[in-house]
Structure 1
Amino acid sequence: MKILQVTPFFKPIWESGGVARVAYDIAHNLHAKGHEITVYTTNRSIYPNDLPTNRLTSVDGMNVYYFENLRRYLPITAPPVMPYYMPAIARREIAQFDVIHIHDHRTLLTVIASHYGRKYGVPYVLQAHGALPQDTGSRRMKRLYDMVWARKVILGAAGVIALNETEAERYREVGVDEERITIVPNGIDLAEYPNLPPRGRFRAAWGIDDATKIVLFLGRLDPTKGIDLLIRSFAEVSREYDNAVLMLVGGDMGHNDEFKQRVRMLGLEDRVIFTGFVNKEDKMAAYTDADVFVTPSFTGFPVTFLEACLCGTPIVTTCQGDRLGWVDDTVGINTAYTPEALAGAIGRLLADDALRTRFSEQGKELVQNQYNWEAIVHDIENFYAKVAAEGNQGGCSPTGVWPGSKPKSEAVLRSGR
């Protein structure tokens, strides 16, 4: 099949978050299976780079366009991704594809790709990556986008991919028919991790001895991840465990001054370490050396959870946002979204070596058997084939809304319920 992947960011812009990683893994594994892959993406996140722009280039055997992103020139906070040259290419090329896979539904790339997909009768699959609710991040921008485009984009999709049952229910409430929803979790490419780093490398780099307990957060340092709650929780943990440190590993998304102010207010300057963005090798070393991996809040299906499991690091998360049923009492603890509950869960794991070992062994087994990309991409292939066959039979109406879809209140998009 000739498949177009549309994603705001792609390799090597890993600091932009999990969507770039997932989009790459899907595209790369599809290419390995013999499909012809083209990617529409942009060249800018928050860090400068010298990627070729507005022209076709090759990345690991795939055809990739890094469209120049005008947001880098705007002096406003969190401007939208703006690939001004993309319409010229999309107008000329999209008709040739068998199916389009759009990652992240609130971008101008999505608007452009879905428009030309409908115009030329090319079915597209939409994957929101847990971003359907409006109650995180820039709510004003999300409300504006949803008023203008969201319903047309979502209901115009030949199929949608949910990362978990929570997200599948959100699609249903927006009005997507059951037969157009499939649940496909994120995965991990085991071939990319042939040798995990030995324990001690990350500790040595940061001057941390083996007796010290490491509580690790790894990902974008964004308020929506519950970073402030984690810092307040760690203040309680630190009173009981004077040999514990909190490591916040990830790029500054513009809020580090706030987080560091909270650290100073709580007197934790010598117990909380901000590492900044780290490369893949250092990231895996951080997981390996950590005693507990904590993500207080998330949506979708974080790849970081799978990476932590692969390294045998137990997980602590909460019921805030989405929920992954396989975490609780299998690879870690799912607790309430309060400082006391989060601190209690972290402390319980730090104190119980046997429990950490059990979660560690079960996490490694789970990732290797259930959440590898080879098996997951097979399911995605089958979904593509289904929507492509229905598209060829004229399944989509000229308005871009599938017959039988049931639009509901805009409140669904606002609440995520």
Structure 2
Amino acid sequence: MKILQVTPFFKPLWESGGVARVAYDISHTLHESGHDVTVYTTNRSIYPSDLPTNRRVDVDGMNVYYFENLRKYCPMEAAPVLPYYMPAVARREMNQFDLVHIHDHRTMLTVIASHYARKCGVPYVLQAHGALPQDTGSRRMKRLFDQLWSKEVILGASGVIALNETEAECYRALGVAEEKNAIFPNGNDPAEHSDLPARGRFRAAWGIDGAARVVLYLGRLDPTKGIDLLIRSFAEVAREFDDAVLMLVGGDMGHNDEFRQRVRSLNLDDRVVFTGFVSKEDKMAAYTDADVFVTPSFTGFPMTFLEACLCGTPIVTTGQGDLLEWVDNTVGFTTEYTPEAFAGAIGRLLDDDVLRARFGEQAKELVRTRYNWQAIVRDIEGFYADVANKGRDRSLPAGAGSGLPGQNL
């Protein structure tokens, strides 16, 4: 099949979050399976990049367009992704594809790609990656986007991909027919991490004693992730374990000053380490050196959970946001969203070497057998084929579909 993948960010912009990683892994696995893959994405997320823009380049055998992102000129904290040159390319190329897979539904890439897919009669699959609810992140921007475009984008899809049953129910509530709905979890490639870093490397780099008990958070340092709850929970953990250290690994999303102030107010300056964004190699070293991996709140299916499992690091999370049923009492604990409950689960793991080891081995086995990309993408391929066959029968004739406000597409 000739497949177009549309994603706000792509390799090497890993700092943008899990969507870039998932879009790359799916795309590359499809390419390795013999499909002709093209990617529409942008050149900038949080940090500047020197990627070639507005032209096709080869990335690991795939055709990739890094469209110049006008977001960098916007002073807004949650500025939209604005690929001004994308319509020219989409207008020229869209009818070449058998299917389009759109990642993350509230972007201008999504609006442009879905418009041209409908106009050219090309079926598209939409994957929201846990972002359907309006009650997280920039609610005002989400409400505005939804009023303008979301219904058309979502209901115009020939198929949708949910990461879990919670997200599938969100699609149903928006009016997506049951036969269009499919659930596919995120995955990982165990072979890619066959040589994990030796334990102690990350600790040594940050001056942490080899015998200390390390609690790790890795991801965007954003209030929606429950960082404030984590810091308050760690204050209780620190009172019980005088050698415990909390490592906050991830890029500053504009809230680090308030998080540091919370740390200071709890007298935890010497017990909490902010590392900033780290490389892929250092990230895996951080998982390996951690005793417990924590994420208070999430939506969708975080890649960080699978990466922690690959390294045999048990997980503590909560039922705030989405819920992954395979975590609790298998690879870690799912608790109530309170400092007391979260701290209690962390403390239980830090205090029980045997339990940590058991959860760690079960976590490794789960990734090897259930959550590997080869198996998941085989299922996605089957869904693609079904959507492509049915979607072209249902597609609007050429020229149908509405345009974008203020643009002659």
Q: Is the 8 A contact 1:152 1:400 kept in 2?
A: no
- In 1, the alpha carbon distance for the partners of 2:396 and 2:184 equals 23
Structure 2 equivalent of residue 83 of structure 1: 83
3-state SS, counterpart of residue 287 of structure 1: helix
- In 2, the alpha carbon distance for the partners of 1:130 and 1:151 equals 16
Q: Give the TM-score taking structure 2 as reference length.
A: 0.97
- What is the deviation of 1:35? 0.3
Structure 1, residues 69-121: CA drift from partner, whole Å, max 9, x if none?
A: 00101122211000000000000101110000000000000000000000000
- What is the deviation of 1:397? 8.2
* Closer/same/farther in 2, CA of residues 397 and 228 from structure 1, 3 Å limit: farther
- In 1, the alpha carbon distance for the partners of 2:83 and 2:64 equals 14
- What is the deviation of 1:395? 5.4
- In 1, the alpha carbon distance for the partners of 2:97 and 2:56 equals 16
Structure 1 equivalent of residue 274 of structure 2: 274
3-state SS, counterpart of residue 359 of structure 1: helix
3-state SS, counterpart of residue 233 of structure 1: helix
- What is the deviation of 1:400? 6.4
- In 2, the alpha carbon distance for the partners of 1:258 and 1:396 equals 50
- In 1, the alpha carbon distance for the partners of 2:394 and 2:284 equals 47
- Is 1:97 the counterpart of 2:63? The answer is no
- Is 1:45 the counterpart of 2:38? The answer is no
Q: Is the 8 A contact 2:125 2:159 kept in 1?
A: yes
- What is the deviation of 1:396? 5.6
- In 1, the alpha carbon distance for the partners of 2:121 and 2:159 equals 14
- What is the deviation of 1:207? 1.4
3-state SS, counterpart of residue 393 of structure 1: helix
Structure 2 equivalent of residue 413 of structure 1: none
Structure 1 equivalent of residue 405 of structure 2: none
Q: Is the 8 A contact 1:226 1:296 kept in 2?
A: yes
- In 1, the alpha carbon distance for the partners of 2:77 and 2:364 equals 40
Q: Is the 8 A contact 2:123 2:395 kept in 1?
A: no
Structure 2 equivalent of residue 191 of structure 1: 191
Structure 1 equivalent of residue 12 of structure 2: 12
- Is 1:244 the counterpart of 2:258? The answer is no
- In 2, the alpha carbon distance for the partners of 1:158 and 1:191 equals 33
Q: Give the TM-score taking structure 1 as reference length.
A: 0.95
Structure 1, residues 160-209: CA drift from partner, whole Å, max 9, x if none?
A: 00000000000011110111000000000122112011111111111112
The code of the aligned residue for 2:257 comes to D
Structure 2 equivalent of residue 223 of structure 1: 223
- Is 1:359 the counterpart of 2:380? The answer is no
- Is 1:337 the counterpart of 2:327? The answer is no
Structure 1, residues 233-268: CA drift from partner, whole Å, max 9, x if none?
A: 001110111100000001111111110011111111
- In 2, the alpha carbon distance for the partners of 1:106 and 1:364 equals 34
Structure 2 equivalent of residue 410 of structure 1: none
- In 1, the alpha carbon distance for the partners of 2:194 and 2:335 equals 33
Map residues 42-191 of structure 1 onto 2, 5 A cutoff: 42-191=42-191
- What is the deviation of 1:49? 1.1
Structure 1, residues 134-178: CA drift from partner, whole Å, max 9, x if none?
A: 001000000000011011000000000000000000001111011
Q: Is the 8 A contact 1:40 1:65 kept in 2?
A: yes
3-state SS, counterpart of residue 307 of structure 2: helix
Structure 1 equivalent of residue 368 of structure 2: 368
Structure 2 equivalent of residue 406 of structure 1: none
Q: Which moved more, 1:221-230 or 1:202-211?
A: 202-211
- In 2, the alpha carbon distance for the partners of 1:400 and 1:360 equals 51
- In 1, the alpha carbon distance for the partners of 2:318 and 2:390 equals 40
Q: Which moved more, 1:315-324 or 1:188-197?
A: 188-197
- In 2, the alpha carbon distance for the partners of 1:314 and 1:221 equals 20
3-state SS, counterpart of residue 394 of structure 2: coil
Q: Is the 8 A contact 2:118 2:395 kept in 1?
A: no
Structure 2 equivalent of residue 390 of structure 1: 390
Q: Is the 8 A contact 2:119 2:397 kept in 1?
A: no
- In 2, the alpha carbon distance for the partners of 1:110 and 1:266 equals 43
- In 1, the alpha carbon distance for the partners of 2:391 and 2:8 equals 25
- In 1, the alpha carbon distance for the partners of 2:59 and 2:379 equals 24
Map residues 28-39 of structure 1 onto 2, 5 A cutoff: 28-39=28-39
Structure 2 unaligned spans of 5+: 403-409
The code of the aligned residue for 2:345 comes to A
The code of the aligned residue for 1:308 comes to A
The code of the aligned residue for 1:250 comes to G
Structure 2 equivalent of residue 408 of structure 1: none
Counting aligned pairs with the same residue, the percent is: 77
Structure 1 equivalent of residue 211 of structure 2: 211
Q: Is the 8 A contact 2:120 2:397 kept in 1?
A: no
Structure 2 equivalent of residue 254 of structure 1: 254
- In 2, the alpha carbon distance for the partners of 1:400 and 1:298 equals 34
- In 1, the alpha carbon distance for the partners of 2:259 and 2:342 equals 18
The code of the aligned residue for 1:275 comes to T
- What is the deviation of 1:210? 1.9
* Closer/same/farther in 2, CA of residues 372 and 180 from structure 1, 3 Å limit: same
What RMSD, in angstroms, separates the aligned Cα atoms of the two structures?
Answer: 1.2
The code of the aligned residue for 1:30 comes to L
Structure 1, residues 4-58: CA drift from partner, whole Å, max 9, x if none?
A: 0000000000000000000000000000000000000000111111000001111
Structure 2 equivalent of residue 411 of structure 1: none
- In 2, the alpha carbon distance for the partners of 1:358 and 1:396 equals 54
- In 2, the alpha carbon distance for the partners of 1:207 and 1:148 equals 50
- In 2, the alpha carbon distance for the partners of 1:168 and 1:293 equals 27
The code of the aligned residue for 1:334 comes to T
Q: Is the 8 A contact 1:44 1:72 kept in 2?
A: yes
The code of the aligned residue for 2:294 comes to V
- In 1, the alpha carbon distance for the partners of 2:17 and 2:25 equals 13
